[in-house]
Every structure is written in structure tokens, then in C-alpha cells.
Amino acid sequence: MIHIFIYSGVFLALLMLLSLYRAVVGPTVLDRLVGVNAIGSKTTTLLILIGLIYHRVDMFVDIALAYAMLNFIAVLAASRYFQKQKGLYDERSNK
Amino acid sequence: MNIIVTIILISGLIFFAGGAIGIIRFPDFYSRLHPAGKLDTAGLATTMGALALYTASSFSTASLITALKIILIFVFVFITSPTATHAIIDAGVRSGLTPWRKEAEADK
């Protein structure tokens, strides 16, 4: 069962690389925010998988809960900040 | 019990894979929020369910409390993930991003 958890964690890390592509090259700021939000929700699962691999779930569950809250507050604060700005544009078209 | 946990975990990983591929492949910011908002919540729900089932399968008080905490994470994300998606869409609308259209793509 440990091997299944390890392979699932590696697969999740590869999916986080796919989301990191959108966070790096995304045309607007909000695209990067979407990528960061997706990475954060995958990290919450990955933390509990790490806890199951090391047999310390009772400690890693609290870290995962704190990380979920931190991800939510970061995305909410960043989107509230960027909605005041009128300068959001597609960075590829050079308007 | 291990087989059931493995099946639910792999189905959750398929949800996560669909979300990651959708975030890359969709053409527009608004359409990218569709896989980001839905499939991440669905994948997190199924994987958290599998891991809570695996944790609770050894019936002791500490493991049951830990499984309850994992369910609590899922309930928290189930409330906050649509809120975050709505906040991002609201920022996009108020800053004046126009949605993607097929005619505009054909004009290039």
C-alpha cells in the first residue's frame, strides 16, 4: 500500500508541473492565479499522502488544513487586489 | 479494503489529470476556470475520501479522529474553492477582460 501512495505522489508532482506551465507562461495575471490555485489544491492532497507514507498522518493533517486555508486567503487577496487595476491585458498581443 | 481505497484514489487522480490538462489546453481565461474550479474540487473530494477511508480502516480512536479531520479539510475546500473561483472571475470581469470568440480567432 505504501508503493501505491508513493506512485500517486509522484503522479501528482508531475501534474503540478503541468499546472506550473500555466502559472509561468499565462497571458494574463489571472491565468497565473488559476495555475497557483490548482497547484495549491494538489499540494493539500500531496501533504496527506506524505503523512501516510511516513506513518505520521495525525501531524500532517494539520499542516494540510493550514495550507488549504493559506491557499484560499492568498487567492482571495490577490484577486481582490487585481480587480482594482485596469491594466490587465493579454501579454502576448502587446497592446 | 485496500482494493477499494486504490480504486477511489486512482479515480481522484484521473480527475486531477483532467483538470491539469484542461488548464493547459483551453483557449481563454474564462474557459480555463471551468476545469480549474470543478475538477480540482472533484479530485480533492475523491482522494480525501479514499485517504480518510484508509485511515479509518484501523479502528482506533486516534485514527477515527484523524479521518474526521481529513473529512473536515474536504468540507473546508468544498466551501472555499467556489468562492476563490468566483473572486477570480469577478476580478476578470471588473478589469474588463473580453471573452474568447471563434470569429476573433478566425480573423487573425
Complex confidence, ipTM: 0.83
- Can you give the pLDDT at residue A95? 45
Residue A94 located in a structural domain = no
Point out the residue among A21, A61, A83 whose CB comes nearest to the CB of B91. Answer: A83
pLDDT tens for B9-53 read 999 999 999 999 999 888 888 888 888 888 989 999 999 999 999
Give the single-character DSSP code of B97: P
pLDDT tens for A20-68 read 998 898 788 888 888 999 999 999 999 999 999 998 888 999 999 999 9
Residue A88 located in a structural domain = no
Q: How many angstroms separate the Cα of B3 from the Cα of each of A45, A50, A76, B54, B68? A: 19, 20, 38, 10, 21
Is residue A94 pLDDT above 70, yes or no? Answer: no
Residue in A with minimal Cα distance to B54: A52
Residue A93 located in a structural domain = no
Quote the domain boundaries for residue A54.
2-82
Whether pTM > 0.80 for this model: the answer is yes
